Chain A
């Protein structure tokens, strides 16, 4: 075919260039030889014959060139040639090349990394069929003493059960417990209690066995469990015979009925087991459970919210503890949101901010490389002029310069993607608990496409600017050598200055952003959580019902365990509680009533956290006693429970009454006469239980008691121990394990960690945004400083002759230095002003990330200004000093 032959010729021209050239040469030589022989036959001596043949043949190289052109692959050949030329040029100036490639690699790599995260966490749809129809069902309130955002409620679930916006709805909650079976040692596992309909909502079925049956999801139905693929693989060796076997979860025996598919991670990758919710319509609860639903095709979350809002009032007819008045007082309303929002949660604003910031870093990088190339282009003006004078094609010169930028970009891009690949790999160790969907973060096709687009933009931004400058080179004027005699070309000088101003401005925005988050983090660290975390080690021990069926046995176990721990050498104090503050558990909150001051019907009493504490807990945690006494061992045997309340409770509930001796009770339900009142025996300091940036709600600490009480059993069966010790954690864990094995060898020791790490994890979100932004800002500041330094050095060098003239005319070194410094600081200040203005206009982006300060925090803005100006001075100082030390005689001769 016509086309294939041509392609073959092109391919040969490009890849077998040597052979093609050799054949061409041979063919030409053959021709001349034959011609020579012909002339020789006519009687000319050999030398003359060859001369005549050569004349007859004409310009050999010219013919060859015509043949090369004729191959039609000339364009491609030229590109290959230009690239090789560019590569040689770049190798000749390694410092420039390394600087440019490194700058580009940082810019592109940073963007590829952040995009991988943004793509995996925010953009990629969830791994369920039709994921955009999955919604979370929660509630929002304004008014009263209840949290603004409330989860779902089983009572509301019943009220909404015939909503037509939904194809299906489900409820779930997560907890942790100990798993025991004949396979291996007891294990602490993450359990999800969920409605049977969850799997219909998600449209995921077990790969082995079956889901829950109707009967199993009903009260008093058979106890069953579904296990995760990873648990199946790790604990049961992927044995299909696990189906039908009996395992014990927190003392309750359950039959394994199914194995979920690999990668099924609902509601998070931590989930190991799913058990049926078994909703009891005669015992519906408050707002303490999560809701998820699948919308019908075409229904928006807003429409679903509207429908649920109309159905909400039914809740008062379903349960009597949520009267209509409470609903209206608290202005409670349902909220249906895309489920992805629920999963992504609070990292969304941090990621958007990070993305914007890393974009700025890339811009700075572009500007840096552009000014590097500009300087290079300036330095090569004479070479370019010479080549133009010798007849070089202007377009070809442009192409060569583009090839150089392209080669730089290519190298920067490759290193950048490698950098991103590396960063994405270490990310899970840097931000384990902060980022949801970490498994979805990877450098994949879309990241490569994004990076390529970025790189193309970069090429446009930095590659074309310097090349346009060639166009203005006047061949003759340049060869005269007069180009550097006076000041530099005014236009290029101005362009470079604008670039530096832009750079400083962008670095300012970066610094302000990271400075604000840094200050917030500082403020957060300054927050007194209400306890001292240093030197405290914690772990959890949960007691199964099977062997610890009575409250007495539970209390006896924990007290014995605590006594033995206190007896270990190196232990200062020890205590236990139900859940640690700041550990990420939704703390159990209930309305709190005060005996003798009944709330009017329909008014919601203030909420309080319900906690349990053993003697030694407050001392170990460093929670101060304000008045009265702490819980002691005798409280365990009291008929009426003893409680300790925190200061906020005194303020919110006691209304100025003496707290010690008052009687309080948790909960809304039940008949007033039968309410179980507890005596307040002491007041302690407040603890931030939910999160560091939220004011304390106030807590009521119950003593473990010896009598039958459902609440108490729920609170005390699984306890977190706190141990203040000077022992290294590993030693302590070993001793505790031994002690535990002596008491009960079947109990797992779970959640072993330091209290400090719990607090660190609570700061994790802020720490993540701070580290990310700080890294971006540091890179940006560094690049900005390098840019400023580079440009000033160059401008100063360009002005050498002018400075020489000035000095010859009597300017002092001090005056010269001042002039250079003034110039640099002027440029830096201009950039700073623009940057501050830009940062102010972007403040809404930062607001959701901040704590305790406003986006216009004067301390941050002032510090950033100082930092920038000092870096600017530093970057200016060296060129200024160099200028001041110039020898006027040499400067005048400077070329």
Chain B
């Protein structure tokens, strides 16, 4: 856990989870690893925010879960994107981009 890694910004964790799950269903630990990989080790998701976020998304029915057996024969809870979640991912991505652009614009304005 290098010093270079950072907590994702508040509010973006939902987006990160949705994006990760859009590639393939995955369990909680796998999601943290995937985010780390995809962000080249920059983003590190804390378990304290991961699981509540998963629970929240499940309540919103953006993701669904079931118990499956992993490659090395362990039972694990796998999360998977629902159709509703896929639509939400589009909207969230859109809004994130607008947000980034706006922040960028603000920073350049000086």
> Could you tell me which A residues sit within 8 Å of B by CB distance?
1-2, 5-6, 9, 23, 26-28, 30-31, 33-35, 38, 56-59, 62-63, 66-67, 70-72
Contact = CB atoms under 8 A, between A and B. Distances in A.
Contacts of B59: 2, 5-6, 9, 72
Given A30-B29, A34-B29, A70 B47 contact: no
Contacts of B37: none
A70 B28 contact: no
Contacts of B77: 23, 26-27, 30
A707 to B, nearest CB: 101
A404 to B, nearest CB: 32
B55 A71 contact: yes
Contacts, number: 57
A58 B29 contact: no
Given A57-B47, A58-B47, A63-B47, A30 B27 contact: yes
B51 A58 contact: no
Contacts of B75: 26, 30
Contacts of B27: 27, 30
B60 A2 contact: yes
Helix, strand, loop or mixed for chain A's interface?
helix
10 contacts: A2-B59, A5-B59, A27-B77, A56-B1, A58-B46, A59-B48, A63-B48, A63-B51, A66-B48, A66-B52
Interface in B62-83: 67, 74-77
Contacts of B61: 1-2, 5
A34 B28 CA distance: 10
Contacts of B67: 23
Given A30-B75, A66-B48, A67-B51, 14 more contacts: A2-B61, A5-B59, A23-B67, A26-B75, A27-B27, A27-B77, A31-B29, A31-B47, A35-B29, A58-B47, A58-B48, A62-B48, A66-B52, A71-B55
Interface centre among B29, B52, B61, B77 (most CB of A within 10 A): B29
B99 interface: no
Contacts of A35: 29
| Nearest 7 pairs of A and B residues by beta carbon | A34-B29, A31-B29, A70-B55, A70-B52, A27-B77, A30-B76, A66-B52
Contact of A67 (B46, B52, B74): B52
A56 B46 CA distance: 8
Contacts of B55: 67, 70-71
A27 B51 CA distance: 9
Nearest to B46: A58
B56 to A, nearest CB: 6
Nearest to B32: A31
Nearest to B67: A23
Interface in B17-61: 27-30, 33, 46-48, 51-52, 55-56, 58-61
A755 to B, nearest CB: 80
A614 B77 CA distance: 101
Contacts of A62: 48
A9 B65 CA distance: 13
A38 B1 CA distance: 12
Contacts of A23: 67, 77
Nearest to B77: A27
